[in-house]
Homo-oligomer: A and B are copies of this chain.
Amino acid sequence: MANHEALDDIFVALADPTRRDVIRRLGRGPTSVGELARPFPITLPSFMKHVRTLEASGLIRTSKSGRVRTCTLNRERLALVDDWLAEQRRAWEAATDRLEQLVTDLEETP
C-alpha cells in the first residue's frame, strides 16, 4: 500500500511537462531553484509549486544554504517507475508463456 501511494505521487509529479523538464535538468547534477526556473515563462511562485510537488513525491530533494535552495534528483525514487513497468512486463510474459503452452498442448492432442 505504501508503494501504491508512492506511485500515485510519482505519476502525478511526472504528469506535467515543466516538472519532467526539471527532472531531466537535474539529471545533469544538482541545480539551484533560480537557475532551474530561468527557462520557464512562469512566475517564481508558480515554479515553486512544481518544485514542491516534485519534492512531495520524493523525486527530488532540496536543501537551503543562505538564500539559495538547491535541488537534487533522487534516482532511487524514479527507479520505482522502472520496477512497476518491469512488473507489468513479467505479467505479460507469463500470459504469453501460458498461451504458448496451450497451443503446444492443443497441437499434441491427437
A11 touches B8 (CB 8 A): no
Is residue A24 within 8 Å, beta carbon to beta carbon, of the partner chain? yes
Interface residue SS majority, chain A: helix
| Contact-residue bracket for chain A | 20 to 34
Using CB atoms and an 8 Å cutoff, list the residues of chain A in contact with chain B: 4, 7-8, 11-12, 14-17, 20, 23-24, 27-29, 75, 78, 81-82, 84-85, 87-88, 91-92, 94-95, 99
A94 to chain B, nearest CB (A): 8
The 9 closest A-B pairs by CB, nearest first: A11-B15, A27-B91, A11-B14, A12-B15, A28-B95, A27-B92, A4-B17, A11-B11, A8-B15
